[in-house]
Amino acid sequence: MMLMKSKYCTFVSIIIRRRREGDPSMTKTVGLIGSGNIGGAVARLAVAAGLDVVLSNSRGPETLADLVAELGPRARAATPEEAARAGDLVVATVPLLAYEQLPASALAGRTVIDTTVYYPYRDGRIEELDAGALTSSQLVQRHLAGSRVVKTFTNLDFRRLFTLARPVGAADRSALAVAGDDAEAKARVTDFLDVIGYDAVDLGTLADSWRIGPNTPIHVQPYLGAWPEGLSTAEERGRWFFQAPGVPVPAARVRELIASAVPVPAGGPTPPSAA
Ligand SMILES: NC(=O)c1ccc[n+]([C@@H]2O[C@H](COP(=O)([O-])OP(=O)(O)OC[C@H]3O[C@@H](n4cnc5c(N)ncnc54)[C@H](OP(=O)(O)O)[C@@H]3O)[C@@H](O)[C@H]2O)c1
């Protein structure tokens, strides 16, 4: 992890002090529904920041033993319902095609971070999204009618999500956009992002969240940086993708990129490997 050690210690001590003071808006336990690329990165950042995590997936807690072992005593695995009830903040990070399987009653009353991105090649065609009537997060919010859904983590890839995290005050700290219909829920998520290594920029409502979707100026590329020339094979591209440290994107740049977005058809492209 790229957090510098001395600043990181200050960062952690601030968190521990705030927690000791009993601030009820501070997240202490993060429930994860989905523990794949994004869920795993969020869990690693949360544990590094001194939070507890409860992981879950579709195949059962026993399949998460390796990740739990890597994360150590702050992590355990459970069912999605248990993770939903255990978290004072829950991250729902599953393919959009599974959104109706999110446990709505266990999530009622909770703030839920939604990371979904609509990829028709994977999720199938969803008429309301194709028609521009709803964003994917509005769809998730409709299913989780008793929860407060907040969209974030969707416009950078899981490697850069991990490598670009920085302590409070770092000159090269990046920001993430946060969209939601409930101000208090957005404040809780902003606080969580701060704790795990990011500034937050308020993007507006869930209806506005198309501004960080696929084919918009802020989607993935600014944080990833330009692909070097001369990577001719999939293996070379894959190696570069996994090793590239990423490019910090500060809050001011996030605001500019969001403001420059123009409406585009919903849905991300089909990757060459799935075509
Ligand atoms: N990868 C990225 O860089 C990236 C960036 C931004 C946003 N996103 C979006 O974030 C979401 C997650 O992406 P990802 O890359 O982390 O996906 P992933 O690596 O495929 O992981 C998906 C996770 O969701 C779990 N899951 C699937 N269906 C479930 C269900 N019904 N109940 C509980 N858990 C379920 C999977 O569990 P099993 O393995 O047991 O099925 C797995 O742990 C997607 O919507 C994606 O488009 C991804």
pLDDT in tens, 74-115: 999 999 999 999 999 999 999 999 999 999 999 999 999 999
Question: And the tokens for 85?
Answer: 């009830």
Confidence at 18, pLDDT banded by 50, 70, 90: low
**Which residues form the pocket of ligand 1, taking CB atoms under 6 Å from any ligand atom?**
33-39, 56-59, 80, 93-96, 98, 101, 115-117, 154, 157-158
Considering the domain boundaries, does residue 274 fall inside one? no
> How do residues 257-273 score in pLDDT, each as one tens digit?
999 999 998 988 887 77
Confidence at 24, pLDDT banded by 50, 70, 90: low
> How do residues 136-146 score in pLDDT, each as one tens digit?
999 999 999 99
Considering the domain boundaries, does residue 34 fall inside one? yes
Question: And the tokens for 87?
Answer: 């978290």
Q: Name the average pLDDT for the chain.
A: 92
Range of the domain at 136: 5-118+127-266
Residue pair 87/31 in contact by the 8 Å Cβ criterion: yes
**Nearest atom in ligand 1 to 117's CA:** 47
Considering the domain boundaries, does residue 272 fall inside one? no
Considering the domain boundaries, does residue 9 fall inside one? yes
Considering the domain boundaries, does residue 273 fall inside one? no
Domain count, the chain: 1
Residue 19 has pLDDT above 70, yes or no: no
Residue 182 has pLDDT above 60, yes or no: yes
Considering the domain boundaries, does residue 210 fall inside one? yes
Residue 2 has pLDDT above 80, yes or no: no
Q: Which one has a higher pLDDT value, 225 or 272?
A: 225
Residue pair 117/136 in contact by the 8 Å Cβ criterion: yes
This prediction's pTM = 0.92
Distance between Cα 181 and ligand 1 center (Å): 23
Distance between Cα 58 and ligand 1 center (Å): 10
Confidence at 52, pLDDT banded by 50, 70, 90: very high
d(CA 36, CA 224): 19
Q: What integer pLDDT is reported at residue 11 of this predicted model?
A: 38
CATH number at residue 48: 3.40.50.720
In sequence order, the β-bridge partners of residue 29 are 52
Considering the domain boundaries, does residue 271 fall inside one? no
Distance between Cα 56 and ligand 1 center (Å): 11
Q: What integer pLDDT is reported at residue 271 of this predicted model?
A: 77
